[in-house]
Amino acid sequence: MPIYEYRCSACGFQKEFIQKMSDAPLTACPECKQETLVKMLSAAGFQLKGGGWYQTDFKGGGSKPKEEAKPVSGGCGGGCACH
């Protein structure tokens, strides 16, 4: 469940609350009991690590070049359907 940060605009009380995404935003301040609690905009609690995102990632158009078929050496000379 996500963690949301709230701040009371009346008394300055600030706290993080764990809520479901479907829960209604909190409005009553637990400190001063007024309906002045506001959800704050805060940074995400995770980081993406690695080389980054590239234009060719997750696109169907960027296919890898195929290797040319190499002749197979065999005892039949390569003229049959086994190669």
Indicate the pLDDT class of residue 15, thresholds 50, 70 and 90.
Answer: very high
> Mind listing the pLDDT tens digit for each residue in 28-80?
999 999 999 999 987 766 666 777 666 666 666 555 555 555 655 556 666 66
Contacts of 31 (CB under 8 A, 6+ apart): 8, 11, 13
Check residues 70 and 11 and name the one with the higher pLDDT: 11
Q: Is the pTM of this model over 0.75?
A: no
Residue 10 has pLDDT above 60, yes or no: yes
Query: What are the domain boundaries of the chain?
Result: 3-39
Contacts of 81 (CB under 8 A, 6+ apart): none
